[in-house]
Chain A
């Protein structure tokens, strides 16, 4: 029986073991060269290159090393480089109403643990608000910044990892009977800016669909909302816009045929319709829009199955691919709320299904409940990464 200690690895085992273990072994001294020169000092530029590879949380700890590291790690240019490499592990964020105090609670979990079906310990995040009895809506996340809608007029951008937040100037849309606002948040790589989009809709008898919408965009770094004209004559339905490939996408209702996907290109700031997949013989009763693997995703609700479609090449209708179908968890009396959160490398799909979080294993068709405490009480969920990107810069 092999012992569990790390002493008896042969070479192959050691190579297959973690990098951490490799380093804990005493390095072999050079076989020759008795007059070894002193250990070289790495220039600061090279140290900066190394630090780009360090995980976000660790970098924040390393700020105390010296002043030059501190200013490097808080430099927005460094944050951008750091974001690009290597891939940042994703985290799941959940919001709750505390069962005892009814206060707003936010927790985050490493996403890979959620898929592993191992019990996951939460990290409690301190939402930047002292009024605890609030239930702000998660609009979305982009590059580690989470976007919350405080109300119809107020948006909060928050990077929980670096604990920086920014409240945007109020929208000041005139409140009307039946009016509502749907927000979206994304990045325009052309101007290298984050943008928040607000679609304000209100009843309007003059319009064919009975509703009219006005769209405003705020570029992060500026202090004002700009009007973006020509929103098509549709009724936006989604809880929030979905950011994919430089565009924010909404599901919207149109009298005929039924639902459409409307997108706003964040660079050109113009609207387009994203053509939907050919659903074949499936009688589609309802649609849900989402993002999986950085691609636009549609879940089409049939009578007994849900079909998951991915648009592999954004904007190209031919690239819609049906990934798989899965059954309803319980016989639905009405269509449950479904949100696709993440698709793991081994094809497990994390879903918000009704009021539950479930993991659907697409390979053997089984459902699992992640081992997260209070999981079924969560109000909202989102997937984000830990980055150094500040909403304030």
Chain B
């Protein structure tokens, strides 16, 4: 099965075939024609942890600095898919969507980002941050970091410890305020 979504082609899908139904049929045809004509040679295949293979076009690959450096330094055989053992097909699909929108959506990018965030639960947000860090995609990484900031803005220390899986090792119960002055300029 070959399905082209905007900016990506998914050749073989072991699981979750329903997830690739992202684009309208007309868009798919147009994309396929354009990609076949112009960019077939430069595309690279990526294989996710759940054995799905994505064919990704150069403009998207450019964002993935880790994959870029693999291609540049190791002269890998592009007929073999590059394995990404830490990334699921669901997340890679999201990542490709994000990179695509970030490059080509000049008018409604903020709107897209809002929808993108809304579709993620806490666990997925963390998985994506790990994936963005692994693939070294700065735009997505910064966007997600900033989103975590909003998420923890008004939460209690207990929530934050729980959220980040942190043990409370502070001995004393400290106030949630900055420390008071120690002395002043008049003290000798």
Which of B119, B148, B164 interacts with A53 by CB under 8 Å? Answer: B148
Shortest A342–chain B CB gap in Å is: 25
Contact residues in B for A162 (Cβ distance below 8 Å): 178
Contact residues in A for B175 (Cβ distance below 8 Å): 64
Contact residues in B for A22 (Cβ distance below 8 Å): 114, 117-118
B178 touches A39 (CB 8 A): no
Is A205 among interface residues, defined by CB-CB distance under 8 A?
no
User: Which interface residue of A52, A64, A69, A167 has the most chain B CB atoms within 10 A?
Assistant: A64
A129 touches B184 (CB 8 A): yes
Contact residues in A for B186 (Cβ distance below 8 Å): 129-131
Mostly, the B contact residues are: helix
B115 touches A32 (CB 8 A): no
A66 touches B176 (CB 8 A): no
Considering the chains assembled together, what is the distance between the CA atoms of A15 and B174 in angstroms? Answer: 38
| A30-B149 contact given A40-B126, A163-B179, A167-B185, CB 8 Å threshold | no
Is A61 among interface residues, defined by CB-CB distance under 8 A?
yes
7 closest Cβ pairs, A-B complex: A15-B114, A27-B121, A15-B111, A39-B123, A64-B174, A19-B150, A41-B165
Chain A contact-residue range equals 35 or more
Listed by A's residue number, 15 A-B pairs whose Cβ atoms lie within 8 Å are A14-B118, A15-B115, A19-B114, A19-B117, A22-B114, A22-B118, A30-B124, A40-B130, A42-B126, A49-B133, A61-B177, A64-B176, A128-B184, A129-B186, A165-B185
Where the two chains meet, the residues of B that have a C-beta atom closer than 8 Å to any C-beta of A are 16, 18-19, 90, 110-112, 114-115, 117-124, 126-127, 129-130, 133, 141-142, 145-153, 157, 160-161, 164-170, 174-181, 183-186
Shortest A134–chain B CB gap in Å is: 10
| A16-B126 contact given A62-B160, A66-B161, CB 8 Å threshold | no
A70 touches B118 (CB 8 A): no
Is A227 among interface residues, defined by CB-CB distance under 8 A?
no
Considering the chains assembled together, what is the distance between the CA atoms of A28 and B142 in angstroms? Answer: 23
Considering the chains assembled together, what is the distance between the CA atoms of A32 and B122 in angstroms? Answer: 16
Considering the chains assembled together, what is the distance between the CA atoms of A249 and B180 in angstroms? Answer: 35
Which of B121, B124, B127, B149 interacts with A54 by CB under 8 Å? Answer: B149
Which of B148, B166, B180, B183 interacts with A66 by CB under 8 Å? Answer: B166
B157 touches A12 (CB 8 A): no
Is A23 among interface residues, defined by CB-CB distance under 8 A?
yes
Contact residues in B for A52 (Cβ distance below 8 Å): 145
Which of A33, A61, A65 interacts with B161 by CB under 8 Å? Answer: A65
Considering the chains assembled together, what is the distance between the CA atoms of A25 and B119 in angstroms? Answer: 10
Considering the chains assembled together, what is the distance between the CA atoms of A55 and B153 in angstroms? Answer: 9
Considering the chains assembled together, what is the distance between the CA atoms of A19 and B114 in angstroms? Answer: 7
Contact residues in B for A65 (Cβ distance below 8 Å): 157, 160-161, 166, 168, 170
Shortest B121–chain A CB gap in Å is: 4
Q: A39-B165, A65-B157 are in contact. List 20 more A-B contacts (CB 8 A).
A: A15-B110, A15-B118, A17-B114, A19-B147, A19-B150, A23-B117, A27-B122, A28-B119, A33-B16, A36-B123, A42-B165, A46-B133, A52-B145, A65-B166, A65-B170, A66-B166, A66-B169, A70-B170, A128-B183, A129-B186
Considering the chains assembled together, what is the distance between the CA atoms of A17 and B118 in angstroms? Answer: 12
Is A259 among interface residues, defined by CB-CB distance under 8 A?
no
Which of A49, A58, A126 interacts with B145 by CB under 8 Å? Answer: A49
Shortest B10–chain A CB gap in Å is: 16
Shortest B175–chain A CB gap in Å is: 8
Which of B133, B153, B185 interacts with A20 by CB under 8 Å? Answer: B153
Contact residues in A for B119 (Cβ distance below 8 Å): 27-28
B184 touches A130 (CB 8 A): yes
B127 touches A40 (CB 8 A): yes
Contact residues in A for B153 (Cβ distance below 8 Å): 20, 58
A32 touches B169 (CB 8 A): no
